[in-house]
A and B are shown apart, each in its own frame.
Chain A
Amino acid sequence: MLEVIIASSIKVVFVLAAVLTGCAYSTYLERKVVGHLQHRIGPSYAGPYGLLQPIADAVKLMFKEDVVPDKVERVTFALAPIISFAPALLTFAVIPFAKDDNVFGYDVKMVLSDLNIGILFVFAITSIGVYGIVLAGWSSGSKYSLMGGIRSSAQMISYEVSYGLSIIGVILIANTLSLRELVDQQASTSIWFFANWYVFKQPLGFLLYLTCAIAETNRLPFDLPEAESELVAGYHTEYSSMRFAMFFIGEYANMLAVSAVGATLFFGGWQGPFVNEVPFIGMFWFALKVFIFMFFYIWLRGTFPRFRYDQLMNFGWKVLLPLALFNTMVTGLIVVKGWF
């Protein structure tokens, strides 16, 4: 029993450290990549190539004054950043990050918690994050925050449906909700290591997932809740110091989470060449896939402008939802008829 506790603690610390470092360096990656997309050089002062910039940012945010405006609902105001930050981290509890291995004589499952309804857990938890945003908007007592919060809730309701439906195809084919089994099913021993990835069986599902995931994480071009040009900073207008930092880290942790889930569902998670020979290399493949997702997000941000509100709604209800339903129907038909 003690061994299990120790092993779990080590894994939790490891995953938490990896995710938080990942969040910090996602901000660096974003600033560098967007900078170069716009012919700028990005951060370059703190450390070589500005590599210590995230640490400098963290220190700065910690020492900033925590301003709480007069007319806020104090309890909710304090609670909102936590509600938006914690679920983003919780997602990583069920994501397998390497092949199970024997470490120092103990069999270690390379996943914090092998839930048999893993994917359901992920979708339930990520949906909680929006409450943080809505409550932040409502409790701030500011019109901009309120507008941001309301937009966020409307956007979530519209995109949550397609988001959920977009992965139904994968689940229908895989016949399981456990992320570990999903990854195992995408294994391939041949030289075509990517042959069994679900992205090839569910291309439409993947595109839908990608689009909805961006909307779910409030990233450009779906960042209406914090549209700078209209709403100052949206739901976190009134936040400062570490409370703001929690929203900020939460946003990046959410990006990492949807990237990790996308990599797990459609790109075989930690599967890749040589995973059977060197089990730890799975971690590298997984990190690489997440990195590619993150790069795509940032690239997208540097390419397309923000949607207008009516365009967002039209796109969500008139395009994504029918496509998601169509994808589910066709996949269901194929699975029932046994054509796979």
Chain B
Amino acid sequence: MNDMLKAVGNVFLKMPKGFVVTFKHLFKKPVTLDYPRKKKPMTPRYRGKHYLERYDDGTERCVCCGLCAAACPADAIYMEPEENEKGERRASLYEINLLRCIFCGFCEEACPEEAIFLGQEYEFSDDNRNSFIVDKDDMLVPHPRKDNPLKRIYRRVRKVYGVVDEH
């Protein structure tokens, strides 16, 4: 009898509370993301895949000094120097092994020419180990930048104040 009264009491007093709680949650915004179709913006200082900057006239900023390779704790960077047609030093070969890289950002800090940056990209999985060794062609930003002039000014301002650029 006691069990029965308790159960009936639960049905009318406690169970509706539970139903109300879950019903409220039915209309809340889902916390999961419809991932490959919708992406969360990364933070501006996110350290993703590297990219190499150019001067505004299109020449590469990198002079192949080797400071990034020296700073790299994972020993992921390898480079070979050469001279361009104006007699300036640049890299003939610049490779980063993304499987070794720990994305610490030391290369970025070490760079005296502000040439290498860690970008926003994080989707570079592959089924082939060789494809993780990226070279200069993979990392250099395209020469006439596709973005608008306002963005370029913004980028320059941010570079002055030492904030990592968005790619």
Contact = CB atoms under 8 A, between A and B. Distances in A.
Given A303-B18, A304-B18, A318-B3, A40 B8 contact: no
A315 interface: yes
B11 A44 contact: no
Contacts of B21: 303
Nearest to A211: B11
Q: Which of B7, B23, B28, B34 has the most CB of A within 10 A?
A: B7
A333 interface: no
A39 B32 CA distance: 7
A333 B25 CA distance: 44
Contacts of B23: 299
Given A207-B11, A299-B19, A303-B18, A37 B26 contact: yes
Contact of B32 (A33, A41, A207): A41
Contacts of A37: 22, 25-26
B19 A33 contact: no
Contact of A319 (B4, B19, B30): B4
Interface residues of A, number: 21
Contact of B30 (A36, A314, A315, A323): A36
Category for how many chain B residues contact A? 20 to 34
Nearest to A326: B4
Interface in A266-308: 299-300, 302-304
A314 B26 CA distance: 32
Contacts of A322: 4
B8 A303 contact: no
Given A37-B25, A207-B11, A304-B18, A318 B4 contact: yes
A39 B26 CA distance: 7
Given A314-B3, A318-B3, A322-B4, A39 B30 contact: yes
Contacts of A41: 30, 32, 34
Contacts of A35: 30
Interface of B: 3-4, 7-8, 11, 15, 18-19, 21-23, 25-32, 34
Given A37-B26, A314-B3, A322-B4, 13 more contacts: A38-B25, A39-B25, A39-B28, A39-B29, A39-B30, A44-B34, A299-B19, A299-B23, A303-B21, A304-B18, A315-B7, A319-B3, A323-B4
Interface of A: 33, 35-41, 44, 207, 299-300, 302-304, 314-315, 318-319, 322-323
8 contacts: A37-B25, A39-B30, A39-B31, A207-B11, A300-B19, A315-B7, A318-B4, A319-B8
